[in-house]
Amino acid sequence: MPLAASDSSPTASPLLFFPRLVQWQRSHGRSGLPWQGTRDPYRVWLSEIMLQQTQVTTVLGYYSRFLERFPDVRALAAAPQEAVLALWSGLGYYSRARNLHRCAQAVVEQWGGAFPASAEQLQTLPGIGRSTAAAIAAFCFGERISILDGNVKRVLSRLLAFDGDLASLAQERRLWALAQDLLPAAPSHDEMVAWTQGLMDLGSSLCSRSKPDCSACPGAGLCLASAQGRTAEFPVRTRKLKRSTVEWWWLLLRRPDGAVWLERRPAEGIWAGLYSLPTYGSRAEGLAAFGGEPALRREHEALRHALTHRDLVLRPLELDASALRQDAAGPGPAAQAAPGLWVRRQADLDLGLPAPLRSLLERLLPA
């Protein structure tokens, strides 16, 4: 049965996509990013962790500061966790920083300071999942293995008109297998670098979420979604993000000299391991912990801060700390004293701080 004239479905093999994308990456892809042009696993690994769920422009400054402070994996492994969190402060998803630190220590202690050279082994390390392991292995060791990040899901689901729901782990695994099938039998190291980078470059430029530029795409003539005019339908992902609102009372304990008391947050949960203000679930509870109503100086305007699953309403209560204990253990009753410190000026804020708190303290403390 002959094809109808209106049927514009590509008939070329999707295997042609590999050489086309490799060529496109070399002529049109990104090449000047600070973590490109190296096969040093430490630098590639650091960039991949920072880039998880984080845009390139956000990462650039953090990456250079981090490398300057920790030039190699041994320097990072030897640092205190607090120093790592301080450099990560503001980048978000702080479990990445804690796992980064643990990973560096594992590389030193279990691998003699050299990252293992296969995706399978890399994936056993803290904070390195399947996609990050594949990226490091492809970039640094030329391994024939496919990444599958947000960009690749968009590019390949369109190329193949893959209509599985990527909210499902099973469908994600299917697409991962298809991605692996697009690789030639024996790609060179350079080809794996260009292919891996090309998938991400294409997804972040031509094959954008809205209004992709299919005419300039190296997948033109191969891409099923484009041929069918259905790019907006891919990738398929049923989202079921349920947001909730949480109200936190922040105690702004101020000494007569203006200093503010910060405490380290617990090792799990939101902002784990960062410094923050003493936090309570109600106004009464917070006041009761530090002198009650007579100590109250001012109720600051509430700050609203959006996290992925939660909207935080932060209510700072400024208390007069002059009547409270002010020894090294902190201002509260010794029994509930958490590790913490007084900060007097902005120069004291070289700490792991949640973004909204850094913003608040930069307004309150003198330079």
**Residues at the contact surface with DNA, assessed by CB under 7 A:** 30, 33, 35-36, 47-48, 51-58, 90-95, 99, 126-133, 135, 149-151, 153-154, 167-170, 197, 200, 203-204, 208-210, 237, 239-242, 269-272, 305-310, 354-356
Least Cβ distance, residue 128 to DNA (angstroms): 6
Q: Which is nearer to DNA, 172 or 348 (CB)?
A: 172
Measure the CA–CA gap between 207 and 307, rounded to whole angstroms.
27
Least Cβ distance, residue 7 to DNA (angstroms): 29
Least Cβ distance, residue 167 to DNA (angstroms): 6
Least Cβ distance, residue 278 to DNA (angstroms): 17
Report residue 268 as tokens. 């799990």
List 48, 191, 263, 318, catalytic entry = 48
Could you tell me the maximum CA-CA distance found in the chain, to the nearest angstrom? 91
Measure the CA–CA gap between 195 and 219, rounded to whole angstroms.
13
Contacts of 27 (CB under 8 A, 6+ apart): none
Q: Which is nearer to DNA, 94 or 195 (CB)?
A: 94
Q: What is the DSSP letter of 144?
A: S
Measure the CA–CA gap between 201 and 363, rounded to whole angstroms.
39
Measure the CA–CA gap between 354 and 312, rounded to whole angstroms.
12
Q: Which is nearer to DNA, 213 or 299 (CB)?
A: 213
Q: What is the DSSP letter of 327?
A: B
Q: Which is nearer to DNA, 230 or 298 (CB)?
A: 230
Least Cβ distance, residue 67 to DNA (angstroms): 15
- Show the CA angle centred on residue 325, arms to residues 321 and 331, nearest 5°: 65
Report residue 243 as tokens. 């947001």
Q: Which of these, 97, 231, 228, lies nearest to 157 by C-alpha position?
A: 231
Q: Which is nearer to DNA, 99 or 326 (CB)?
A: 99
Q: Catalytic annotation on 48?
A: yes
Distance spanning both ends of the chain, measured CA to CA = 78
Residues with catalytic roles: 48
